[in-house]
């Protein structure tokens, strides 16, 4: 089958360019004894970007260009001539021309070919923007992300452009998820998510909230992270998914509820384990959104409070402090907070340290019914909030607390929106929500 006449010159030119570059590479590999495989691989990659960029440009040129007569408002469009455009892509530089149309009535311009091909605005293709946003959200900083992107794709990507793309896409994602959460809170529930193939079926579901301080431009502010996860054999977490917000605890509680519904959990019927470190605000959020809950005070926080009393009573590192704390741990482990309260009462009259024991009585009295650790273990509930504490470190602090970092609330939230999707194992789903403004 013969090639169409119009294709022959183009194909011949591309093939000729490709063969010339290949021959030059072969000659270099023959004559330059210092070349390594890495050097050759880098040159081949550069060759591919030059040739494939030309192929992509020609493919775009051959797409039939729409010729619209009317605007979306119903008025006539006027053709204003052809305009050039360029984008960096993962396979090389894309160059193309397309017709520009203008509507005098609504004062809107249109590039029908760009709309037909869903070409993203800006200097970078949609696929390259995804790489930039992924690295912008997961690398330690925007300069690191830009360097990685340039290294991987040999594209002209700067730290500032990576920041702009990450923030823009993250903001779109946040708006889409916020709209979804509002619909869920209003009672519009999606179909439950199908369980992942081969994933263990959890015996319980658990949620947690915790906060971490992040330096914003004006001062330090709390970012709240939340987690939803199943509890499998031996209390192991199954399939955690996350929320994170700069907007405060109430917003985090709403996001946490929306995430349970998104996971296919009927919070109005199912019993959930709600783990916290004792902060009253966390318990209030759990009470507001999860009527059937098992409130569980994090075991390690409870023990740390005991150590505070032991050190105050008997001194840092003393055998007496260790013995006193171990006895109280045994009582807690057995689900006997009343015994711990009795020991605190007895210790509150001792000096020095008695005032610390007296103060801690309030903490253990308030949380006594959240310390039935023997029953929690028997029923398969988790007793540690390590999953949400890990979220604070890995989801929030790892990206937002780098040296010298100062954030705007909007910029921090945009990055967190993307990191939530990435760490929740649904990047593709989340990225799809960034493709058009919400």
* 344 falls within a domain: yes
Contact 125, 157 (CB under 8 A): no
* 318 falls within a domain: yes
Final residue of a domain: which of 62, 80, 100?
62
Q: Are residues 256 and 222 in the same domain?
A: yes
The pLDDT assigned to 29 comes to 83
Q: d(Cα 4, Cα 373) in Å, to the nearest integer? A: 78
Q: Are residues 229 and 264 in the same domain?
A: yes
Q: Are residues 224 and 294 in the same domain?
A: yes
Return per-residue pLDDT of the chain as tens, 438 residues.
Answer: 445 555 566 667 777 777 887 888 888 888 888 888 887 877 887 777 778 888 888 889 889 999 999 998 999 999 999 999 999 988 888 999 999 999 999 999 999 999 999 888 888 999 999 999 999 999 999 999 999 988 888 788 899 999 999 999 999 999 999 998 888 888 776 655 555 555 557 788 999 999 999 999 999 999 999 999 998 765 455 689 999 999 999 999 999 999 999 888 888 889 999 999 999 999 999 999 999 999 999 999 999 999 999 999 999 999 999 999 999 999 999 999 999 999 999 999 877 889 999 999 999 999 999 999 999 999 999 999 888 999 999 999 999 999 999 999 999 999 999 999 999 999 999 999 998 654
> Crossing angle, helix 126-138 and helix 159-185, to 10 degrees?
90
- Edge-first strand listing for the sheet containing 92-103: 78-89, 92-103, 108-110
Q: Are residues 393 and 294 in the same domain?
A: yes
CA distances from 332 to 17, 79, 300, 325 (A): 77, 78, 11, 10
Q: Are residues 390 and 267 in the same domain?
A: yes
The pLDDT assigned to 438 comes to 42
Q: Are residues 274 and 342 in the same domain?
A: no
Going by C-alpha positions, the residue among 403, 400, 427 that lies closest to residue 415 is 400
For position 235, which CATH number holds?
A: 3.30.420
Domain span holding position 303? 299-379
The dihedral sign for the CA sequence 309, 314, 315, 320: negative
Q: Are residues 228 and 370 in the same domain?
A: no
Q: Are residues 248 and 358 in the same domain?
A: no
* 52 falls within a domain: yes
* 412 falls within a domain: no
Q: Are residues 214 and 350 in the same domain?
A: no
Q: What is the DSSP letter of 397?
A: I
* 95 falls within a domain: no
For the whole model, what pTM was predicted? 0.84
The pLDDT assigned to 6 comes to 55
* 115 falls within a domain: no
* 432 falls within a domain: no
Strand 108-110 relative to strand 92-103: parallel, antiparallel, unpaired?
A: antiparallel
* 77 falls within a domain: no
Residue 328 is inside which H or E element, if any? helix 319-333
* Helix, coil or strand: residue 228: strand
Q: Are residues 250 and 306 in the same domain?
A: no
Count of domains forming the chain: 3
Q: Rounded to the nearest 5 degrees, what angle is found at the Cα of 159, between the Cα atoms of 162 and 226?
A: 55
The pLDDT assigned to 264 comes to 87
Contact 66, 112 (CB under 8 A): yes
Final residue of a domain: which of 379, 394, 416?
379
Final residue of a domain: which of 379, 398, 423?
379
Q: Are residues 397 and 294 in the same domain?
A: yes
Q: Are residues 354 and 221 in the same domain?
A: no
């Amino acid at each position: 089958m013969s090639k169409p006449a119009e294709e022959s010159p183009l194909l011949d030119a591309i093939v000729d360019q490709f063969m010339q570059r290949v021959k030059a590479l072969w000659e270099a590999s023959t004559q330059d004894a210092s070349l390594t495989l890495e050097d050759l691989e880098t040159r081949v990659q550069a060759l591919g970007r030059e040739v494939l960029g030309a192929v992509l440009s020609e493919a775009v040129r051959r797409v039939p260009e729409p010729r619209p007569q009317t605007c979306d408002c119903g008025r006539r469009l006027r053709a204003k001539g052809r305009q050039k455009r360029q984008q960096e892509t993962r396979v090389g530089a894309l160059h193309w021309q397309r017709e520009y149309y203008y509507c005098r009535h609504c004062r809107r311009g249109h590039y029908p070919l760009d709309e037909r091909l869903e070409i993203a605005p800006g200097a970078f293709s949609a696929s390259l923007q995804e790489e930039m946003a992924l690295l912008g959200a997961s690398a330690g900083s925007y300069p690191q992300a830009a360097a990685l992107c340039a290294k991987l794709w040999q594209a002209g990507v700067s730290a500032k452009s990576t920041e702009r793309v990450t923030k823009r896409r993250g903001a779109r994602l946040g708006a889409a998820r916020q709209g979804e959460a509002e619909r869920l809170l209003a009672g519009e529930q999606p179909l439950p998510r199908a369980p992942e193939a081969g994933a263990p079926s959890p015996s319980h579901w658990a949620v947690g909230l915790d906060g971490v301080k992040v330096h914003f431009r004006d001062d330090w502010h709390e970012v709240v992270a939340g987690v939803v996860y199943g509890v499998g054999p031996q209390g192991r977490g199954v399939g955690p998914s996350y929320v994170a917000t700069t907007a405060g605890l109430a917003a985090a509680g709403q996001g946490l509820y929306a995430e349970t519904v998104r996971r296919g959990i009927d919070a109005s019927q199912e019993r959930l384990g709600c783990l916290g470190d004792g902060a009253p605000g966390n318990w209030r959020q759990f009470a507001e959104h999860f009527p059937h809950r098992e409130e569980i005070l994090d075991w390690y926080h409870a023990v740390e409070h005991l150590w505070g009393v032991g050190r105050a009573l008997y001194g840092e590192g003393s055998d007496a402090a260790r013995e006193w704390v171990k006895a109280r741990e045994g009582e807690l482990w057995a689900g006997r907070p009343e015994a711990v309260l009795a020991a605190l009462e007895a210790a509150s009259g001792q000096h020095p340290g008695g005032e610390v024991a007296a103060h801690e009585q309030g903490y253990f009295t308030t949380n006594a019914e959240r310390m039935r650790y023997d029953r929690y273990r028997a029923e398969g509930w988790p007793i540690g909030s390590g999953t949400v504490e890990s979220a604070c470190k890995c989801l929030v602090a790892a990206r937002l607390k780098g040296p010298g970092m100062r954030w705007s609330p909007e910029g921090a939230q945009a990055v967190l929106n993307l990191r939530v999707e990435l760490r929740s194992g649904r990047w593709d789903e989340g990225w799809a929500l960034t493709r058009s403004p919400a």
